[in-house]
Amino acid sequence: MAEEVKKRTTYRSRKELKPRLYIGDPMVAVFRTLVRTTINRPNTILYPWEKLIMPDCFRGRPGIRLEKCIECKKCVKICPNQCIQMVPIDHPTLGKVNRPQVYVARCMMCGYCAEVCPTNAMMVTPEFELAAYTRSDLMFDPFKLQYEHKPGYEVHSPMITPSELKAGKTESHDKGDMAIKDTVELDPKKCISCQRCAKTCPVGAITMADTGEVNPKTNKPVKRPVFDNNKCVSCEQCVEVCPKSCLSMKEAM
């Protein structure tokens, strides 16, 4: 019995292995594939004449609906590859506005821009064949970025805050839910009533309210910003333009 086991585990010389490895094994593999593809459907397709059917959750290159964009720049901030920037355009109905431009050669098609978009202007498309002869052809300006919308192209990833997760809650929140929305906080001692936050807000969620006080230096009424959290999209543009850093974001964590 021991001698039989020893014979089985003994290595054969390379001269004996060569004909089997280089000729025999490939022929066996080809024959198996021939039988398998003759009986069943082949594993490959005749691309580009045939194309795979993409699943509903497929995330291709970004698309946009220009009329729904509010210039909040959340897509620009969330992009991990920094391939999105806002550019001015002259739209026939919207006029002179700023809209996102995407350098799809650098885009990793993660769909984050569509996920954070508060108005679902940014979306994911089923397009993934983006080959071009020059790099400039891969710079998709807002007009080239447009895509016909269909239900399902928006990204709605349910979210849950770490504090809720730590407390044992399993209920998730959809996009725009007040429970997961960051809010703006004001330090009234630093505010100089410049109104830049109200002028910058893309959704008109900030109004300047009269406090009843009078500035002794200018003899003008003192006004403070009032925030409508239902309209606010937490884009932080008001925080960025505040010259005295009196605004900050309170995270709903």
Categorize the per-residue pLDDT at 34 as very low, low, confident or very high, splitting at 50, 70 and 90: confident
What is the sign, positive or negative, of the torsion defined by CA atoms of 233, 178, 119, 209? negative
Instruction: Encode burial over 103-141: b for 16+ CB neighbours within 10 A, e otherwise.
Output: bbeebebbbbbbbbbbbbbbbbbbeeeeeeeeeeebbbe
| Cβ atoms of 116 and 75 closer than 8 Å | yes
CA 115 – CA 51 distance, rounded (Å): 27
Which pLDDT belongs to residue 241? 92
Q: Which residue has the higher pLDDT, 179 or 144?
A: 144
Which pLDDT belongs to residue 18? 61
Q: Over pLDDT 70: what percentage of the chain?
A: 92
Phi, psi of 58 (to 5 degrees): -65, 140
Q: What is the mean pLDDT of the chain?
A: 86
Give the pLDDT confidence of 66-117 residue by residue, as tens digits: 999 999 999 999 999 999 999 999 989 999 999 999 999 999 999 999 999 9
The arithmetic mean of pLDDT across residues 44-55, rounded, is 84
CA 162 – CA 62 distance, rounded (Å): 29
Instruction: Encode burial over 191-208: b for 16+ CB neighbours within 10 A, e otherwise.
Output: bebbebbbebbbbebbeb
CA 239 – CA 247 distance, rounded (Å): 5
For residue 17, pLDDT over 70 is answered with: no
User: What are 210's strand-pairing partners?
Assistant: 223
The arithmetic mean of pLDDT across residues 146-170, rounded, is 85
Give the pLDDT confidence of 52-65 residue by residue, as tens digits: 888 877 889 999 99
CA 45 – CA 145 distance, rounded (Å): 29
For residue 32, pLDDT over 80 is answered with: yes
CA 125 – CA 154 distance, rounded (Å): 9
Structure tokens at 89: 């355009």
The residue among 129, 150, 108 whose CA lies nearest residue 51 is 129
Which pLDDT belongs to residue 40? 81
How much is the pTM?
0.73
Diameter of the chain measured on Cα atoms = 109
The set of residues, in sequence order, having a beta carbon less than 8 Å from that of 25 and lying 6+ positions away, is none
Categorize the per-residue pLDDT at 217 as very low, low, confident or very high, splitting at 50, 70 and 90: confident
Q: Which residue has the higher pLDDT, 14 or 218?
A: 218
